[in-house]
Amino acid sequence: MRKDFYIFRHGETDYNKEKRWQGCSIDVELNETGTKQAEQLIEKLAGKNLQIIYSSGLHRALKTAKIVAAELGVEVKIITDLHEANLGQAEGMFKADVAQKFPEVYAQWYDDEKDNLDITFPGGESKRQIFNRMYHVLESLLATKEHVIGIASHGASIRYLLYGLGYRTGRMENCALFHVVYEDGQWSVTQL
């Protein structure tokens, strides 16, 4: 059995532009740039034969999914576990302020060399919890009838899902797109 997943990050929001952390509790809309990025994503996904798009329920991901789906003629369904990471007390803060208020956690959060999957901001999810949540979604989608699936989600959630699948990605641009293939019990990842 083979399943193709096209996993993409949402378009830009004003919080992204301001370098402010949204996390899962801050639900803002795409800005004008984000809408244009979602429209450009259509070109990358055209010809991939998507059968459905599953999306986070947060506005920024759902709007990105709906823009793509409308052009490609596919349905969008929400899976709440595709939400952004719970970043606890860091949510809503500017990135520079997060680094100042939580210097040890912040440094470890971005240190993939030490592989500290249990690091967490106060009140938030660990990288391991993010991976487990996102991987559970992928595993559940293996049982669906569709074989080519779009997934609209968020930067940290996608990053640590891919990290757990053995693919490391640095800074992820808005509307970054990854092709994840499951075939004969194996996962592979490429960035498009």
Secondary structure (3-state) at 81: helix
From the candidates 12, 29, 83, 84, which is the catalytic residue?
84
Separation CA 164–CA 184 (nearest Å) = 18
CA 16 to chain centre: 14
Answer for the pair 63, 29: CB distance below 8 angstroms, yes or no: yes
Examine the residue annotation and report whether 84 is marked as an active-site residue of this protein: yes
Determine how β-strand 177-183 pairs with β-strand 52-55.
Answer: unpaired
From the candidates 10, 91, 125, 154, which is the catalytic residue?
10
> Residue 75 gets which letter from DSSP?
E
State both tokens at 121: 């901001």
* 178 Cβ neighbours under 8 A, 6+ residues apart: 6, 7, 8, 158, 162, 167, 169, 189, 190, 191, 192
Nearest CA to 134 out of 187, 78, 85, 65 is that of 85
* 153 Cβ neighbours under 8 A, 6+ residues apart: 7, 8, 9, 10, 55, 56, 61, 82, 83, 84, 134
Catalytic residues: 10, 84
